[in-house]
Amino acid sequence: MPSFTLYLTATVTDCTLAKAHNSAVRFKLSCISCREAAPNFSVVSLLDERVAVPGSRGDCHLLQRCAACREQGTVTVTRLRVEPLGAAALEAGAPLCTLECRGCEPVGFQAGDGWVVAVESGASWEASFDEEDSFTEFDEGAGVPVTAENVRGEWRKD
């Protein structure tokens, strides 16, 4: 089964960035039959209940039909990294999650919500990122500003 890994990049200052364990990943899918991209983002989490795939003995986290050609695609989340990522890892592009896909492939990513920004002093904040959003806070313990911005993702076929 083809799998795709999302490599995350971001600019962080004096903090780490992590995806909360119970959060979801937002991405766009493209049909491999007609190459039509879905108009909306799909949202999938490791905690989502799996659904049965019609005509198969398998199951998946997401079952979606292409609006253009009606072909069926399935997505299963196999890995979601929840360990904090520092500046060096995010600059190089760190693997965040892996999806197994049939009939479709991921072509876009939206950071959205479900992020944890943490600092060495032990403080942490929940963060949400939209297209142009950035996160800014002040670490009282260290007396420094904390920022996370330019959160982007790139899908690579494994």
Q: Which domain holds residue 79?
A: 3-157
The first and second tokens of residue 55, run together, are 């005509």
According to DSSP, residue 85 is labeled B
* 22, burial (CB in 10 Å: exposed 0-12, middle 13-18, buried 19+): exposed
Per the structure, how many domains does the chain have? 1
Look over the chain and give the mean of its residue pLDDT values, rounded to a whole number.
Answer: 94
pLDDT digits (tens, 9 = 90+) for 142-155: 999 999 999 999 99
Place of tokens 């986290």: 61
CB atoms within 10 A of CB 65: 14
Per-residue pLDDT tens over the stretch 13-42: 999 999 988 889 999 999 999 999 999 999
CA–CA separation, 124 and 109 (whole Å): 24
